[in-house]
Amino acid sequence: MTVAAPAPLEPPATAVVDNARWRRLRPDTPLPWRRPLALAGLAIIGAWAVMALFAPLIAPDNPLAQNFATLRPPSGAHWFGTDELGRDVFSRVLFGARITLPLAVILVIAAMIIGAVLGGIAGFFGGWVDNLIMRIADLVFAFPGIILALAVAAALGPQLRNAVIAVIVVSWPAYARLVRSLVLSARSSQYVVASRLLGSSGLRVLFIDVRPNAAGPTLVLAALDIGNAVLLLSGLSFLGLGAQPPTAEWGAMVAEGAQNFSDWWVGMFPGLAILTVVLAFNFIGDTLRDMLDPRTARAVRV
């Protein structure tokens, strides 16, 4: 009997699920450790959350305190330098987290609730209700994000609160569409039909049978969306339609950096803050999506 070398294989993956890579980790490695990206993402968000929470204690200076040391490069006294009004950029970045993080999360939750409710109604009742809601959603979708947000924010007035509203207006259609399609496919699925046959009312079916299945993808979308929300919000502030001076908001700070582009630190650090936060949420959201997609889920769980 000849013992041949492992069967010659094509370098890329064949049609069968590729589990070999995960074989290298011991089977009892806890799930989160198998996804270094998600771990990094959680760590970064955690760090920012801590910094946002304790900003008043950690920040070396008052973010609004102006002094004569304007546009100084990073130094021992001012880690991120000072801006054109002499304010400490590092402190402003820290306090910026207190604005951006909570607002983005609230924003996404609001958009998710509005969108999910509308989408659920559309999917469940169908008919002209469905048509109306979906046409509106399509119309919003057709407009490139920031242009619509721009219009809404401008119409409502340049204020942080209005920028948040604008981003909610732009974000809800994605949830509506998702939830609607989930409801539609659930409606015709076996377990819902069985439940109706057993006498469950429509509402009960919606909440007990459909919701668990709809929750997963919706939450994944929300996780991925937080990053987007941060980008849109800071984008609007960059354009002057969100946070107003002297509020220390990252987007507005980058705009200031654009005015003083030769003093690179003014715009660089707030922008990096945005980047790290969005990247972290995207890491998490990406992994979540892998875990919930049945095709890739096996590679993660096994």
List residues near another protein by CB under 8 A.
Answer: 1-21, 23, 27, 37, 139, 142-147, 150-151, 153-157, 227, 231, 234-235, 238-241, 251, 254-255, 257-258, 261-262, 264, 267-268, 270-272, 274-275, 278-279, 282-283, 286, 295, 299, 302
- Closest CB 28 distance from another protein, rounded Å: 11
Q: Smallest Cα–Cα separation from 52: which of 7, 84, 100?
A: 100
Q: Residue 182 is encoded by which pair of tokens? A: 């989930």
What CA–CA distance (Å, rounded) separates 136 from 230? 24
- Closest CB 300 distance from another protein, rounded Å: 11
Nearer to another protein, 113 or 258 (CB): 258
Cα-to-chain-centroid distance, residue 175: 13
Nearer to another protein, 210 or 253 (CB): 253
Q: Which long-range contacts (CB under 8 A, 24 or more apart) does 138-147 make?
A: 138/173, 140/169, 140/170, 140/172, 140/173, 141/173, 141/174, 141/177, 143/170, 145/170, 145/228, 145/232, 146/232, 146/235, 146/236
- Closest CB 187 distance from another protein, rounded Å: 26
Helices (H), 66-144: 89-125, 127-142
User: Around 42, how many Cα atoms within 13 Å sit in the side-chain half-sphere?
Assistant: 9
Nearer to another protein, 107 or 206 (CB): 107
Nearer to another protein, 18 or 46 (CB): 18
- Closest CB 128 distance from another protein, rounded Å: 16
Q: Smallest Cα–Cα separation from 87: which of 266, 210, 224, 242?
A: 266
- Closest CB 69 distance from another protein, rounded Å: 22
Nearer to another protein, 21 or 68 (CB): 21
Angle at 286 between CA 136 and CA 184, to 5 degrees: 40
- Closest CB 267 distance from another protein, rounded Å: 5
Using the 8-state DSSP alphabet, how is residue 21 labeled?
G
- Closest CB 183 distance from another protein, rounded Å: 23
Cβ contact 248:95 at 8 Å: yes
Nearer to another protein, 20 or 31 (CB): 20
Name beta bridge partners: 88.
Answer: 82
Nearer to another protein, 55 or 277 (CB): 277
